[in-house]
Amino acid sequence: MRRPQTKAFLIGSLASCALLATQSAVRAQSIEPRSYSNAPVGVNFLIGGYAYTRGGVSFDTLPITDPKLTTSSAVVGYARALDLWGSSGKFDVIVPYTWLSGSAIYQGDPVRRDVDGFADPLLRVSVNFFGAPALTLPEFRSYRQDLVVGASLQVSVPAGQYDETKLINLGTNRWFFKPEIGVSKALGPWTLEGKTAVTLFTTNNDFFNGNKRSQDPLYSLQAHAIYNFSSGIWGSVDATYFAGGRTTLNGVLQVDRQQNWRMGATLALPVDPYNSIKLYASKGVSARTGNSFDLLGIAWQYRWGGGL
């Protein structure tokens, strides 16, 4: 009786390590359950995903109103489970290609943008420094999570499509650095998670016709309630809150401080030890700056290495 349960746990645990395509589409507004889950050292993850957004989504905090934008993003990602001084860790990279279209109001005038190209890639290193030791695949089969505490650093590289003569772009023409701390606690079939992060931005010196634009740090909180089925399937209810991010344009402080709530849900469906599918959706509950949007996405994950 224990072998099917162990196999289901292994498959479900590996399925939890998929990256969400939402990260590239919505930046600091992303919702990602189980980002600090353990995985056998040496396992590689290849991720392909698609995300669709509609509403006030933008790829930067912009001085626009009444945004009616839609995006379709194809995302390719790679991750590898690491041994970091005896603790489990992970490195991942996401490269998105996005199609954006729609309109908005800027200083009382309507603007429209139809563009496609690469958005800024994202890099991240994470480590679980308590409760999730680095394990080989045979050791991992007997691992059961209790309390896990971890941290990560994500970096956005300004390599995406950018045209300073356009107000809305796919790239942001600046770096951001996002340190984060997360806590995950298993309670029977349930796992409760909480994360807090701050996103730090460099200055965009070529913002819209040669202006200089800087942004205050953006603070965020995430909470997840995850239910793990005996078959390896798991689902979660997700929420995020973020505030701050007020901008300065040519030395003038703008009235655009963010204070937004989002809710979402995620469902992971393991296919076998090598493949899984993840479905996710989220919706803006409230948005002080009008950048509320709806999101639907799907991600496929393939795993190899580490003795699989």
Q: Measured between alpha carbons, how far is residue 305 from residues 56, 76, 80, 130 in Å?
A: 41, 19, 9, 24
Predicted pLDDT of residue 30 = 75
pLDDT higher than threshold 70 for residue 157:
yes
pLDDT higher than threshold 50 for residue 4:
no
Chain segment 181-206, per-residue pLDDT in tens: 999 999 999 999 999 999 999 999 99
Superfamily of domain 2-304: Autotransporter beta-domain (2.40.128.130)
pLDDT higher than threshold 60 for residue 18:
no
Contacts of 208 (CB under 8 A, 6+ apart): 164, 165, 166, 167
Chain segment 57-93, per-residue pLDDT in tens: 655 556 667 778 899 999 999 999 999 999 999 999 9
Q: What span, in angstroms and rounded, lies between the C-alpha atoms of 161 and 98?
A: 10
Q: pLDDT band at 20, cuts 50/70/90?
A: low
3-class SS of residue 13 = helix
49-58, 164-173, 254-263, 267-276: which range is least confident on average? 49-58
Burial code (b: 16+ CB inside 10 Å, e: under 16) for 126-151 equals bbbbebbebbebeebeebebeebebb
pLDDT higher than threshold 90 for residue 229:
yes
pLDDT higher than threshold 50 for residue 25:
no
Residue 256: enclosing H or E segment and its boundaries? none
Predicted pLDDT of residue 290 = 60
Sheet of strand 252-253: strand arrangement? 204-207, 211-215, 247-249, 252-253
Average pLDDT over residues 112-128: 94
pLDDT higher than threshold 80 for residue 248:
yes
Average pLDDT over residues 103-127: 88
Q: What span, in angstroms and rounded, lies between the C-alpha atoms of 166 and 119?
A: 15
Domain assignments of the chain as residue spans, ordered by start: 2-304
Q: What span, in angstroms and rounded, lies between the C-alpha atoms of 135 and 307?
A: 12
71-80, 100-109, 255-264, 276-285: which range is least confident on average? 100-109
Average pLDDT over residues 254-268: 89
Average confidence score pLDDT of the chain: 87
Average pLDDT over residues 95-117: 87
Q: pLDDT band at 167, cuts 50/70/90?
A: confident
Q: What span, in angstroms and rounded, lies between the C-alpha atoms of 226 and 181?
A: 18
Predicted pLDDT of residue 21 = 46
Portion of the chain with pLDDT greater than 90, in percent: 64
Q: Are 184 and 145 in contact (CB under 8 A)?
A: yes
Q: Are 183 and 138 in contact (CB under 8 A)?
A: no
Predicted pLDDT of residue 108 = 76
Predicted pLDDT of residue 273 = 86
The pTM for the full model equals 0.91
- Which of 136, 102, 59, 88 lies closest to 305 in space, CA to CA? 136
Q: What span, in angstroms and rounded, lies between the C-alpha atoms of 116 and 111?
A: 17
Average pLDDT over residues 42-47: 94
Q: Are 290 and 65 in contact (CB under 8 A)?
A: yes
Provide the 10 A C-beta neighbour count for residue 304.
Answer: 12
